[in-house]
Every structure is written in structure tokens, then in C-alpha cells.
């Protein structure tokens, strides 16, 4: 099996490199499984081309594979041969079943949680000065209008939250208001669920369109109260 050892080591090394080393290179990201599969296919094609360039290397490469398949002088490996001969047809059957059976799962939903706001709502700064009184007042408005869903503890677990899908945002979670600017919150509170673009699936959001009920100044104060209460600070450009 000598000639097969090197290609196998090469494939395993390439896989480990793509899977575990590449994601750790600064500025990189984990590769999708389909891309890793494509790279491994390319490596395999390269190996086959390399070994079929001369008749000696061809025999050294294909010989062990042929002997494995025909079961000639295999000894201890004969179990592995039977395993391959049984697994291969079953995998083909499974693949066929998977591609012909109609899925009975509901359609998958890819909802963008923080879609881009309209241009007029980017970069607005909070016109209300950040005084303890204003923060206090913002928290009062929050308690009256927002806490039934977003929770008295700013955790998205208010008494009215349980039936809503998507669930109300948890402001204490570092992936919500902590990574957003105040102007983004201003847009989301003012326009509510029905103001979302299509990728935000506006038809599912229960968030009220507060512009019809609350003056802008109250909304800016609510934003200050929210950040303060959830112990987060707005994202800035610095």
C-alpha cells in the first residue's frame, strides 16, 4: 500500500489545514464545508493526474486499489474491503433517497436581524443631552412602553413576549444594541416592525410603529434609558 500512503497523508493534511489552520489566519474565516470538499476534489484530481503520468507510477497507484477491490492477498484488510463494498451501495441509495424525497420540513427562513437602515437614519446623533434626569425619564418611558415585551431587566423576557417569533430583542446581549448606533435604534423604534426591509421579514415583527404615538424627543430619551439600563454603550465610529 506504499504508493497510496502519500496521497492519503496529503489529503488528510490539506483537510486539516483548511479546517483548522486557515480559520486562524488573521483576517480569515471558517471555510464552508462545500468549499473544503471542492478543494479536496481538486487535490484528488491532481493526485490522479500525477500518478497516471508514467506507466510505473500508474501501476504503483492503481495496483493497491485493484488488489484491495479484488480482495487478493488482503489478510487483515479484508474486513475493510467488505465494509467498503457494503457502505458504497448504501450511500448511493441514501443519496438517491435524499434527492428524490420531497422535504416535509417547513421552508427555511433566513431573516436578517439588523438590516441596513434607510439613508436618512444613518449617523444621526442624539439631540437630547445625557443628563441623569433625561436618562431617568427615558427609563420611565421604557417601563411604560417597551418593558411589556423587552422586559424590566432589558433581557427581552417581558410578560407579553412569549408568543412572538422573532422574540423581542435582548438589550443585555452584546450582539444587539451594543453593536448598533443610536440612530439605528431611533429608526427601529420610530418605524417598528412594519418599517423593516424585506430581508428583515417585516410581516413577522410585533414591534409597534412608535412614531404614531410618541414624539421624537421621547424616543431619544428611551434610547438613553435603554443603554443605561442594559449596561451597554452605543457603537461609535472611533
Q: Which residues bind other proteins (CB under 8 A)?
A: 66, 69-72, 78-97, 100-102, 104-107, 148-149, 159-165, 191-198, 201-204, 206-208, 213
Question: Would you say 170 or 232 has its CB closer to other proteins?
Answer: 170
CB of 154 to other proteins, least distance (A): 17
> Cell 493526485 belongs to which residue?
47
Question: Would you say 45 or 194 has its CB closer to other proteins?
Answer: 194
Q: What are the backbone angles phi and psi of residue 116, rounded to the nearest 5°?
A: -65, 140
With H, G, I as helix, E, B as strand and everything else as coil, classify residue 31.
coil
Query: Which of 200, 193, 205, 203 minimizes the C-alpha distance to 165?
Result: 205
CB of 85 to other proteins, least distance (A): 6
Question: Would you say 34 or 100 has its CB closer to other proteins?
Answer: 100
What cell was used for 233?
A: 454603550
What cell was used for 226?
A: 435603554
CB of 115 to other proteins, least distance (A): 9
CB of 91 to other proteins, least distance (A): 8
Query: Which of 236, 110, 126, 117 minimizes the C-alpha distance to 188?
Result: 117
Question: Would you say 29 or 101 has its CB closer to other proteins?
Answer: 101
CB of 174 to other proteins, least distance (A): 26
Question: Would you say 46 or 215 has its CB closer to other proteins?
Answer: 215
**How buried is 80 (Cβ within 10 angstroms: 0-12 exposed, 13-18 middle, 19+ buried)?**
exposed
Neighbours of 173 (CB within 10 A): 15
Amino acid at each position: 500500500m506504499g504508493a497510496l500512503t502519500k496521497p492519503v497523508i496529503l489529503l488528510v493534511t490539506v483537510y486539516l489545514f483548511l479546517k483548522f489552520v486557515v480559520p486562524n489566519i488573521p483576517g480569515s474565516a471558517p471555510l464552508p464545508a462545500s468549499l473544503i470538499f471542492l478543494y479536496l476534489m481538486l487535490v484528488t484530481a491532481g493526485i490522479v493526474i500525477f500518478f497516471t503520468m508514467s506507466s510505473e507510477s500508474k501501476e504503483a497507484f492503481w495496483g493497491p486499489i485493484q488488489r484491495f477491490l479484488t480482495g487478493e492477498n488482503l489478510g487483515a484488510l479484508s474486513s475493510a474491503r467488505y465494509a467498503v463494498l457494503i457502505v458504497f451501495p448504501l450511500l448511493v441509495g441514501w443519496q438517491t433517497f435524499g434527492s428524490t424525497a420531497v422535504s416535509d420540513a417547513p421552508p427555511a427562513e433566513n431573516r436578517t436581524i439588523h438590516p441596513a437602515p434607510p439613508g436618512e437614519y444613518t449617523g444621526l446623533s442624539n439631540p437630547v443631552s445625557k443628563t441623569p434626569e433625561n436618562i431617568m425619564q427615558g427609563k420611565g418611558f421604557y417601563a411604560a412602553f417597551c418593558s411589556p415585551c423587552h422586559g424590566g431587566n432589558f433581557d427581552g423576557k417581558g410578560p407579553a413576549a412569549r408568543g412572538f417569533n422573532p422574540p423581542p430583542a435582548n438589550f443585555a446581549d452584546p450582539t444587539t444594541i451594543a453593536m448598533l448606533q443610536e440612530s439605528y435604534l431611533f429608526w427601529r423604534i420610530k418605524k417598528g416592525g412594519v418599517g423593516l426591509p424585506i430581508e428583515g421579514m417585516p410581516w413577522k415583527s410585533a414591534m409597534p410603529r412608535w412614531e404614531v404615538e410618541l414624539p421624537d424627543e421621547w424616543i431619544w430619551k428611551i434610547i438613553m434609558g435603554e443603554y443605561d439600563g442594559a449596561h451597554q454603550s452605543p457603537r461609535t465610529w472611533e
